[in-house]
Amino acid sequence: LCPPGVLPLCCRPSAWDRATRPPPSPLQAPGLPLAPCRSFSNNKIQVELDESSGVAMMKFKSPPVNSLSLEFLTEFSISLEKLENNRACRGVIITSAVPKIFSSGLDITEMCGKSVEHYTEFWRAVQEMWLRLYGSNMVTVAAVNGSSPAGGCLVALSCDYRIMAENPKFSIGLNEAQLGIVAPFWFKDTFVNVVGHRIAECSLQLGSLHPAPEAHKLGLVDELVPEEKLMEKAAAVMAQWLALPDHARQLTKTMMRKAVLDRLVAHREEDIKNFITFVSKESIQKSLRMYMEMLKKRKS
Ligand code: CO8
């Protein structure tokens, strides 16, 4: 049932591989050469891996709003795969290099006036990104340093832990209903697993975007910190999670997430068909166009 290239968590050999690898080297003493650091970058994302701590820093850098275009999603999945396959990497902190924006969610232009082939490719890329991130063996921490609607919220929800800058101007949520569209079942499942059924039900039906303090109260984000302390806090949380043996943490993560992951894997093609049918409707196209116009008007 597995899609090509994505192994379910339970089948990945790396859980046990990682468990038997030596612990990360202790912090380096002053005067010694800097810890080995591997970085790679593409048009959309920059990644820096500190091999001594086993922690990668992944920064979205696709101005103006880090929208999740087909190219972005592809680069995101490739970057996650590279880190997942790197035995030196045990955790990744995901954040944004664009001021005030974590990610504006799926790129709406990818869902407007395109061919069925394009919608198929785009939606498969959205699924792929989620399967890789939600099913990652690595510890994943979202350092949410700006607004994070819809698909941006999904990225944060898919991580193991969310820390948000405490600026009330930054909001986060699955606001699809406000666009006249419906969050797919696996967006909903991911949301329910974080905040519980009742909060997810209200928030999804209203398409709520929650300002950071409210998001914290609802449990949508785990912690709020002043913006200047965000990365320091993310590193501290990561160190706490990495202090545990990888195999125990990974198998526990599998136990918690497998049913939700398997559900999409089993219904992947059907989910693509549903997306195409839905997004191709003239009424939905109209809603999306109107929403884009509203964004432009708000700007002027
Ligand atoms: N996709 C494409 N373009 C976008 C998006 C987006 N998601 N968001 C913003 N843009 C564009 C704007 O149109 C604008 O373009 P231009 O410069 O050409 O006028 C540019 O980016 C900058 O945007 P703003 O001027 O609005 O920037 P601000 O800094 O003032 O605000 C925000 C940033 C808060 C992110 C704001 O742009 C915003 O609210 N954007 C909309 C976010 C949103 O609602 N995203 C939902 C996308 S749908 C999704 O992710 C899940 C869909 C699930 C599929 C369901 C089945 C159909």
Among this protein's residues, is 295 annotated catalytic?
A: no
If one counts the domains in the chain, the total is 1
Helix axes 116-134, 185-195, angle to 10 degrees: 20
Instruction: Pick out the chain residues at pLDDT < 50.
Output: 1-5, 7-34
| pLDDT of res. 299 | 74
Is omega for the bond preceding 30 within 30 degrees of 0, making it cis? no
The total number of residues written for the chain in this structure: 300
Q: How far is CA 108 from CA 20, 67, 69, 83, 132, in A?
A: 44, 8, 8, 28, 22
* Number of other CB atoms surrounding residue 14 within 10 Å: 18
DSSP letter assigned to residue 135: T
CB 185 less than 6 A from any atom of ligand 1: no
| pLDDT of res. 193 | 98
The whole-angstrom separation of Cα 227 and Cα 96 is 12
* 3-class DSSP assignment, residue 71: helix
Q: Is residue 95 part of a domain?
A: yes
Q: Is residue 97 part of a domain?
A: yes
List the catalytic residue out of 175, 209, 220, 261. 175
Query: The domain containing residue 280 runs over which residues?
Result: 37-299
Q: Is residue 21 part of a domain?
A: no
Q: What single letter denotes the amino acid at residue 81?
A: E
| pLDDT of res. 298 | 87
Q: Is residue 6 part of a domain?
A: no
Most ligand 1 atoms within 8 A of CB, residue of 295, 296, 298, 299 to mutate = 295
The whole-angstrom separation of Cα 175 and Cα 202 is 11
Among this protein's residues, is 151 annotated catalytic?
A: yes
Q: Is residue 121 part of a domain?
A: yes
Task: Work out the widest C-alpha separation in the chain, in whole angstroms.
Answer: 65
Q: Is residue 15 part of a domain?
A: no
| pLDDT of res. 3 | 44
Q: Is residue 246 part of a domain?
A: yes
| pLDDT of res. 151 | 98
* CA-nearest residue, atom 25 of ligand 1: 299
List the catalytic residue out of 49, 176, 209, 230. 176
* Number of other CB atoms surrounding residue 105 within 10 Å: 23
- Token pair belonging to 50: 């500190």
CATH of the domain at 210: 3.90.226.10
DSSP letter assigned to residue 27: P
Asked if 117 and 69 touch (Cβ cutoff 8 Å), the reply is no
| pLDDT of res. 36 | 59
Entry pTM: 0.91
* CA-nearest residue, atom 11 of ligand 1: 65
Per-residue pLDDT tens over the stretch 208-238: 999 999 999 999 999 999 999 999 999 999 9
CB 150 less than 6 A from any atom of ligand 1: yes
Taking the centre of ligand 1 as the mean of its atom positions, its distance from the CA of residue 148, in whole angstroms, is 10
| pLDDT of res. 300 | 72
| 194 sits in which H/E element | helix 185-195
Q: Is residue 32 part of a domain?
A: no
Provide the CA 8 distance to its chain's centre, in angstroms.
17
Q: Which atom of ligand 1 is nearest to the CA of 150?
A: 50
